[in-house]
Structure 1
Amino acid sequence: MYRPTTRAATVRRTTSAVAAAVAVVLTVLIGCDVMRPLRRDAAVPTTPPGTSPTGSGLRSPVARGSSAHTVTVAGRERTFRLYRPAKLSLSAPVPLVVMLHGALGNGRQAETAYGWNAAAERKGFVVAYPDGLHRSWAVSAHCCGRPAHDDVDDVAFIVATVADISAKLSIDPNRTYAAGISNGGMLAYRLACDTTTFAAIGVVAGTLLGPCPSPAPISLIHIHGTADDVVPYDGRPGKLDNGGTGLRPVKIDGGPVADQIDRWRKVARCAAPEARTAGAVTTSAARCPDGRDVELITIADAGHQWPGASPAMVERLLGMDPPSTALAATESIWRFFANHPRNS
């Protein structure tokens, strides 16, 4: 039976809609989670590599387009999404990009938000989108979220994911890359510090947490907005920092981004950087031995965001800053990756 809508019911529905919208925005925008010092040699997957029923060693087929996958690490089933371009030839080994979401995000959100599938179709590579437990990644003892509190080995999970994909598709180990935003960018740094799996990493709005005295000899591109208030460029505590306490610790204490990049260049024995500015974008690039580069891109007045991403409707409705249009981060990172395979 039809009943007239009361003002109270309308208010309740409006409030619920706003709350849901806020939750979606947080899922898309926030990204800052981290873990305890990790092993350099992370675990391999316990799931067997894909082979034919006759044991001939033929690689298992992976569906074209987007598909869901699991891998078991330390007795725990972990999940990731994989994108195989429709026209990608697998007659020769192909590049792989592992895209790491930020805190409160997940693999599906990262897949839809940052344009990597379209880039993969144009340029010819495969993209993986792992899922952090409780929507976060452990990257230090005090960050971030439940994975840090529970001492989850997310480095082992990512290495296992790459191994699982490589058992199913012909992946080029010299063109395997990791990219991430915020908490995902922090995990990308840990992958460079604690593994030798990747040829280069790309970090957006992230930072390095924890010790890293001898990173792998890889190339690095780091993109950061100077007005980021979640992972501030100047190294001060961000607005989500809780000192690394409680069930969901968040402590981001990596120091100023520019100082971190300088230390990375010194460890990599890079030449002095050369800087150029075009509008709001300043690029500082340093050449390093063996064809490697360390590149820092800053965007004046840009916040905690993935530059060049399509702004979400919820962001516009709530009056939040849209992603910077001064740079297309996905295109910039892929261009950097393509120019920096591992020199084995």
Structure 2
Amino acid sequence: MSPHAPRFRCALAAALLAGAAASAVPSGTAHAAPPVRDRIVVTADGSPAYTLAGDLSSGSIAVLDNVVTYEPDRIEGTGTLPGSAGGTASVSFDIADRDFSLKGRFTLKDPGAGVEITADIDGGVTVPGTAQVRWEGKGTVRRAGGSADRRVAFTIEDRRPDPGDHAVRFTHAGQQRNAILRLPDDYDGTPRPALFHFPGLLESPAVAEWFGRMADFAQTRGFIMVTPEHHGVGWQGVLGGTPGPDLDDPGFVRRLQDVLVDRFDADPRRLYASGMSNGGFFTSKTACENDRFAAFAPVAGQLNDPGACAPGRHVPIVLIHGDGDFVVPYATVRPALDFWKRNNGCGSRTVATELPDIAPDDNTTVVRHDHPDCPADGPVTLYEIKGGGHNWPGGTPFLGPFLGGTTYDIDANAVIWDFVSRHRL
């Protein structure tokens, strides 16, 4: 079981309640790497007052986020930094979300200054800026053999992201936009490929992750998993996306690409896009417009307006769709498939391969349709899920059997990653 699972189950429960109410390959491509070390600032009132500010010289402090609220839910780690009066100071944080509040302990020891600080945290943690957390409250300050309760504060600049869940929050086109991402277990700041997943209609990133387990799949495979949040019920500019404010979803995605490259060391040559249902439609539209993604994988939502699509390049793309899908009928696949074959210069030859029926009890089978005359930089592949409904292959059915069959003969996460990871810009 993933170490994130217990925390995620709590996050999912909150999401559903809210809904009821409403193989890493380093690249030589230049990109903006984050600063090497986290930065810590600690202050304490008193006479004399105490201040320590500096970059960690060893260790790290992990600031990890809740995938539902997009707010910190864990601050933990130890490190050392230069002391305020020479020598070496040490800090330790053990703070986690308990009963809907961040609780735990912070300690600092600065032997050169003869200062030791401890503080029990019970709420009050704020996010003053990007990759920053701050707390201010009562702590115990010991110096010169005595101790006193003082006003204490700390600020952490999480300049070196750690493996685990992170939230991205910024304002774009006048609207607050959010995304969640998971950095893999072996994340070390070297450039990593990143897979964006666009959720379907009414799906938050947390709900999409719960039913698809995409981040869990990425966690041990060395790539970054990113799930942006749409505004309202779905992605705009495609079927199902209810018109609303001028959101500029394509611009939001481009800005999020910048954040992934600049702050989280995503390899700009190995960014990929996938999506489900309305998110699949949006993935397909993005394949027409966004030349910063190297490959695409729409699931149960194919290109719905081929006449308006002009990529100006070959587009590596894998389509996944169930022939029993009554929400987005399988008949919508053919026009999209024909467009991508034509755009990529694939010719008409098709090779159909029946895949092993490894889960006969799911009442589905899978046929892979390859097009061997496609160019190397523009393969087009279709996975036809015979008996498959409007669900994520290999995942948990979104509404049980209501949306049709779910195949377990393939895992969409593995199929998608195997396809897109072969390509780079």
What percent identity do the matched residue pairs reach?
28
Aligned residues: CA RMSD: 3.0
Q: In the alignment, what sits opposite 2:182? A: 83
* 1:298 lines up with 2:394 in the alignment: no
**Bigger Rg over Cα:** 2
Structure-1 separation of matches of 2:174 and 2:35:
22
Q: In the alignment, what sits opposite 1:205? A: 300
> Scaled by the length of structure 2, what TM-score is found?
0.58
User: Could you tell me whether the CA contact under 8 Å between 1:49 and 1:164 is conserved in 2?
Assistant: no
Which deviates the most, 222-231 or 116-125?
116-125
Q: Deviations over 1:73-116 (max 9, x none)?
A: 2232211111111222323x110000110000011112222121
Shift of 1:51: 6.2
> Higher RCO, 1 or 2 (CA under 8 Å, sep at least 6)?
1
Q: In the alignment, what sits opposite 2:256? A: 161
Amino acid at match of 1:214: P
Amino acid at match of 2:322: G
Structure-2 separation of matches of 1:105 and 1:266:
32
**Structure 1 counterpart SS, 2:400:** helix
Structure-2 separation of matches of 1:145 and 1:187:
9
* 1:275 lines up with 2:352 in the alignment: yes
Structure-2 separation of matches of 1:80 and 1:286:
35
Q: In the alignment, what sits opposite 1:247? A: none
Structure-2 separation of matches of 1:259 and 1:76:
34
Structure-2 separation of matches of 1:95 and 1:165:
10
User: Could you tell me whether the CA contact under 8 Å between 1:292 and 1:340 is conserved in 2?
Assistant: no
Between Structure 1 and Structure 2, which shows a larger proportion of helix residues?
1
User: Could you tell me whether the CA contact under 8 Å between 2:393 and 2:411 is conserved in 1?
Assistant: yes
Q: In the alignment, what sits opposite 1:144? A: 240
Shift of 1:320: 6.0
* 1:68 lines up with 2:167 in the alignment: yes
Structure-1 separation of matches of 2:175 and 2:35:
23
Change (3 A) 1:216 1:187: farther
* 1:259 lines up with 2:335 in the alignment: yes
Structure-1 separation of matches of 2:169 and 2:271:
19
Q: In the alignment, what sits opposite 1:98? A: 196
* 1:116 lines up with 2:217 in the alignment: no
Change (3 A) 1:216 1:181: farther
Unaligned runs of 5+ residues in structure 1 are: 1-20, 29-47, 235-255
* 1:228 lines up with 2:325 in the alignment: yes
Q: In the alignment, what sits opposite 1:340? A: 423
Shift of 1:183: 0.4
Shift of 1:265: 0.8
State which of 201, 204, 218 in structure 1 corresponds to 2:315: 218
Structure-2 separation of matches of 1:129 and 1:152:
17
1:187-198 → structure 2 map (5 Å cutoff) = 187-198=282-293
Q: In the alignment, what sits opposite 1:180? A: 275
Q: In the alignment, what sits opposite 2:414? A: 331
Amino acid at match of 1:341: R
Amino acid at match of 1:103: L
Q: Deviations over 1:312-334 (max 9, x none)?
A: 6x627xx6645221221111111
Structure-2 separation of matches of 1:292 and 1:224:
20
Q: Deviations over 1:41-78 (max 9, x none)?
A: xxxxxxx9966899xxxx94324211222122223221
User: Could you tell me whether the CA contact under 8 Å between 2:195 and 2:274 is conserved in 1?
Assistant: yes
> Scaled by the length of structure 1, what TM-score is found?
0.71
Amino acid at match of 2:303: L
User: Could you tell me whether the CA contact under 8 Å between 2:281 and 2:302 is conserved in 1?
Assistant: yes
Structure-2 separation of matches of 1:180 and 1:145:
14
Amino acid at match of 1:294: V
Structure-2 separation of matches of 1:214 and 1:321:
33
Between Structure 1 and Structure 2, which shows a larger proportion of strand residues?
2
**Structure 2 counterpart SS, 1:336:** helix
Which deviates the most, 82-91 or 219-228?
82-91
Shift of 1:24: 5.5
Amino acid at match of 1:108: A
Q: In the alignment, what sits opposite 1:39? A: none
Q: In the alignment, what sits opposite 2:369? A: 284
1:12-27 → structure 2 map (5 Å cutoff) = none
Q: How many residue pairs get matched?
A: 270
Structure-2 separation of matches of 1:177 and 1:323:
24
Structure-1 separation of matches of 2:241 and 2:421:
33
Unaligned runs of 5+ residues in structure 2 are: 1-12, 21-31, 40-53, 55-157, 358-364
Shift of 1:170: 1.6
